Amino acid sequence: MFKTALQRLTLWYLCIIMLLSVGFSISLYNVSTRELNDSQKQLESLLEQSFFPGMRAPNNFQEFNRVRLQQIVDSRNKIKWNLISYNIVIVLAGAAASYFLAKRTLEPIESNLEAQARFTSDASHELRTPLTAMKSEIEVALRSDELSIKDAKNLLTSNLEEIDKLESLSAGLLKLAQNDKTLPVEPCPINEIIEEAQGRVESAAKLKQISFQIKTDDEVVMGERWSLVELFSLLLDNAIKYSPKQTKILIAAETKPRTKQVGISIQDHGYGIAATDIPHIFDRFYRADRSRSKEVIPGYGLGLSIAKKIVDLHHGRIEVHSQLGKGSKFTIWLPVV
Ligand code: ADP
């Protein structure tokens, strides 16, 4: 599909270039031969007329006019052939330039389509995994002749877990698919946002005996309250997921009056991220190597893509500093009120 689009666009660009070039050449030819045409007409009439009434023009004068007439014809032919060769060069150079331009034009569309296709295939794969697990569990249970109430309950509990996974996956996909261009922003006190986000991850933190240390003042940022709560919940959730038990998470905020921004950082003392993984962690479905932690950490690799999308919608910035085995620090820069 791309090959034909590329060929068509190249052809269109070439047509435009040739239309301009041929148009320019025709006008140039008309302008530059107008005077030659006038002179040619004068010379022709001189050659046909007698020099004085009743007298023939001297031979050398007629010869001179004939030479001049030939020069005019030659000059016009020269202009014509020069313009034709110029247009042949333009066709060749224009074809190469058009191909290059068409390729440059289509490149972002092509990479966008590729990313979309990858996203769709990753999403289908992730959606299929829990469905396959549920299907095979149900099939095994149906084949069994002695399915007790206890077995049935176990099956339903396991199916419910898979449904929860599917629910969170489809919620993540929906958030990424939403095409919000702008958000209704309002002044949001950071303390309140962090408190709300902390409430959402409290049970997970308790389970791992992870405590929070909060160092914020009265910073207020411009943003959409619930998106910001979602953003910090995602970062806190990751900080908990990728930290061992009984560690601390530090949440701090600082204002940079010069850039009119507030930086809110979430620092954990967890497993950290390898330098080679850092450039990819915001990609959809990207999950770094988990072999360094012994526990199986749930997730689909969508959290940071959603976080990045929220930050972008706020015209903010997200920074990551991380060291394997020491921990990670995510800093979000948002516009101050
Ligand atoms: P998920 O957590 O579902 O895998 P994310 O998009 O939230 O997806 O994160 C992408 C990857 O970035 C994770 O798989 C993990 O390897 C890494 N990561 C994110 N946050 C942290 C963190 N605080 N500490 C260590 N690794 C992290």
pLDDT higher than threshold 70 for residue 302: yes
User: DSSP class of residue 336?
Assistant: B
What mean pLDDT, rounded, does the chain reach?
90
pLDDT higher than threshold 80 for residue 115: yes
Contacts for 124-133: CB closer than 8 Å, 24+ residues apart? 126/169, 126/285, 126/300, 127/166, 127/169, 127/170, 130/162, 130/163, 130/165, 130/166, 130/169, 131/162, 131/166, 133/162
Average pLDDT over residues 8-33: 94
pLDDT higher than threshold 80 for residue 61: no
Contacts for 212-215: CB closer than 8 Å, 24+ residues apart? 212/248, 212/249, 212/250, 212/251, 213/248, 213/249, 213/250, 213/251, 214/251, 214/252, 215/250, 215/251, 215/252, 215/253
What per-residue confidence (pLDDT) applies to 83? 95
Average pLDDT over residues 101-111: 92
E-state strands within 170-210: 186-189
d(CA 85, CA 79): 10
Closest C-alpha to ligand 1, atom 25:
272
Pocket of ligand 1 (CB under 6 A): 238-239, 241-242, 268, 270-273, 281, 286-288, 299-305, 328
Give the three-class secondary structure for 179. coil
Closest C-alpha to ligand 1, atom 1:
301
pLDDT in tens, 159-182: 999 999 899 889 888 888 887 778
Closest C-alpha to ligand 1, atom 14:
287
Closest C-alpha to ligand 1, atom 11:
287
pLDDT higher than threshold 90 for residue 54: no
Q: Report residue 306 as tokens.
A: 């959603």
pLDDT band at 50 (very low <50, low <70, confident <90, very high): low
pLDDT higher than threshold 60 for residue 7: yes
Average pLDDT over residues 121-141: 90
What per-residue confidence (pLDDT) applies to 224? 93
CA of 236 to the centre of ligand 1 (A): 11
What per-residue confidence (pLDDT) applies to 66? 82
pLDDT higher than threshold 70 for residue 55: no
- pTM across the whole model: 0.71
What per-residue confidence (pLDDT) applies to 30? 93
CA of 163 to the centre of ligand 1 (A): 22
CA of 299 to the centre of ligand 1 (A): 8
Instruction: Please give the number of the atom of ligand 1 that sits closest to the Cα of 306.
Output: 6
